[in-house]
Structures are given as structure tokens and as C-alpha cells.
Amino acid sequence: MTYGVGLGIANFPFADADGFWRWVALCEEGGVDSIWQSDRIVSKDPHLECMSVMAALAGATKRLKFGMNVASAGLRDPLLLAKQCATIDVLSNGRLLPAFGVGSAIGPEWEATGRTTKRRGVRTDECLTLISRLWKEDSVSFDGEFFQYRDVSISPRPVQPDIPMWVGGSAEGAIRRTAALGTGWQAGLETPAQVAPVIAGIKRALTQTGRTIDQDHYGAGFAYRFGTWDDAPVARNMAALAKRVKDDPRGYYAVGGADDILARLREFIEAGAHKFILRPVAGDAHEMVEQTRLLIAEVIPQVAAMNS
């Protein structure tokens, strides 16, 4: 089993594309395992579209892996999504880490796209089933509630013979979905105490489906900041998060030095996670780069040493 640290990006803090690509180059050269783009389509804050970012990273990098954290399958067409993933995987020589979820029920995308949140779990199940089959089968026929296919195929298919399908979400439906379709699970906004029962639940559900998921294919994520809790970006995030969670919002972050970040990471390891998406808490592009540099210099080497 191995541990890996990737970096997550939600809003776009850079002044232009050049700043973004300098940050990507820093990640590529600094030993970051992967880059994960959040999925948000409707927003006043700047957010990049996740599938477009995957395609761009395929051409701009040679070593980095990359994934969506997570793409809302309930909002997307499975044929197009399967084709996009396959194309990106081919052009990146097999570095795509596809990750899917239902999509937040309170997200503005549902109304904007004219979709209902009702039975979005069933729609997502059908979508992921079709994507998985399209990646592997020469011809796919399917008769579902939302999708009906007759002898549909895509080519080229992904170059990864066992291309992963990471599944996000912590509700009972997500646990069942992961056990039935996923090759990995990625936590969202959860503490170590919240992650542990989900991982345990997936493992129990796997005994019913007769499938297996590698022990190191359980992932978690948290925001980090080299600094103090009084830093302005941290204070803003804490105030916003306090409106969303019932417990102490500090439990979702790691703030301080390398030891504090590693301590939080070890708490997630105790909960059963092995892969990590860390999100820099940064007020602007300069801080984004500096927080990344510090992680590369002070945290990633220690995580790498855990694999030796």
C-alpha cells in the first residue's frame, strides 16, 4: 500500500493563464502526485470547468496525474463523459483519474440546466454503469429509466486497461454505489471521524457485491495553511464553513506548520485513507504558489518516506 498527496483547486486564484501554468509546472517538478479540479459550473467566483482542465493538463504535463473532484455525473450525459475521459486518457498516456459523484442537491446547476434533483441517485447509477461499460465493451445496449442505448460504442477507449473509477459521497447511496461500481472512494468535506465509518461501510458493502477495492484506494482531503488561524484567508474560510457544519470548523483544516499538517494526515490514515487531496488556503495567486512550495518542501518528502 502506498500513500500519495495531490493538490486540489476549487476557485481560480490566478490573474491569468500564465500564472496557472507556472503553478502547474511547480507541481509537476516538485513531486506532487496529482492535481484535482473541483466541479462547479454556475458561480460568480471564477471556477474552471473540470473536464476542460483535464484536457489541458494532458497536453501541458508529462508526469502528473489529474482528476475531477468530483464530476457531477447526475448533470452530465454518460456517452459524452465516457468519450471525454477516454480521449483525455489516450492523450495523456493513461494519467487520468476519473472521479464522479451525484452532485450537491443545493447546487444551482440543477435549475440552470433544467434538471430535477429527484432520483438523481438512480440517474447517477445508470450514468456510471454506462461509462464503465463504454470504456471496456465493444458494443453497449442498455434500457434504463433515464438512458436507452442500442449497440453504442466509443473508440479509442482508455489506454489504462483498468482505468479507475473513483466515487465520491458519504451518504448510504454513495456507499452502495462505490461498492457496486467504484474502484476507489474519495471523501468530500469530512473530518477523520466522519471518514472512518464510510470506509468501513464500503468494506462491508463489498462483501455483498463480491467485489474488491484496493486498500490504498480510499482517499480523503482537507484544506491546509502554513500560517496561523488568524490569517485572513483562514478566518474567511472558517466563517463560511461555520455556516455549513454543526461541529468545530477547525476539524476540517490543518493550520500551522508541517507537523500540524502531517498530524491531520495521520488522523485520516488511522481512519483508513491512503490517498490525499490537499487544498491550499490562499488569498491570492502568490499565496497559492507559496503554500504549494512549502508543501513540496516540508510535507511531501515525509509522506514519500512513509512508502519506503
Amino acid type, 247: D
Structure confidence by residue, pLDDT tens digits, 122-175: 999 999 999 999 999 999 999 999 999 999 999 999 999 999 999 999 999 999
Cell 450537491 locates to: 104
Span 19-47, average pLDDT: 96
Domain of residue 140 covers 4-305
> At residue 211, does pLDDT exceed 90?
yes
pLDDT at 162: 93
> At residue 106, does pLDDT exceed 90?
no
Structure confidence by residue, pLDDT tens digits, 225-280: 999 999 999 999 999 999 999 999 999 999 999 999 999 999 999 999 999 999 99
pLDDT at 255: 98
Which cell goes with 47? 471556477
Question: What is the C-alpha separation between 265 and 1, in angstroms, rounded?
Answer: 16
> At residue 1, does pLDDT exceed 90?
no
Lowest-confidence segment of 88-92, 109-113, 217-221 by average pLDDT: 109-113
Cβ proximity of 157 and 136 under 8 Å: yes
Question: What is the C-alpha separation between 17 and 27, in angstroms, rounded?
Answer: 15
Structure confidence by residue, pLDDT tens digits, 177-205: 999 999 999 999 999 999 999 999 999 99
Q: In this structure, what are the phi and psi dihedrals at residue 181, rounded to the nearest 5 degrees?
A: -130, -25
> Structure pTM?
0.95
- Average pLDDT value for the chain: 96
Domain count, the chain: 1
DSSP letter for each residue of the chain: ---EEEEEE-B---SSHHHHHHHHHHHHHHT--EEEE----S-SS-B--HHHHHHHHHHH-SS-EEEES-EEGGGS-HHHHHHHHHHHHHHTTS-EE-EEE---TT-THHHHTT--STTHHHHHHHHHHHHHHHHH-S-EEEE-SS-EEEEE--SSPPSSTT---EEE--SHHHHHHHHHH-SEEE--S--HHHHHHHHHHHHHHHHHHT----TT-EEEEEEEEES-TTSHHHHHHHHHHHTT-SS-GGGGEEEESHHHHHHHHHHHHHHT--EEEEEE--SSHHHHHHHHHHHHHHTHHHHHHTT-
Question: What is the C-alpha separation between 85 and 104, in angstroms, rounded?
Answer: 22
- What is the domain-level CATH number for residue 294? 3.20.20.30
pLDDT at 308: 76
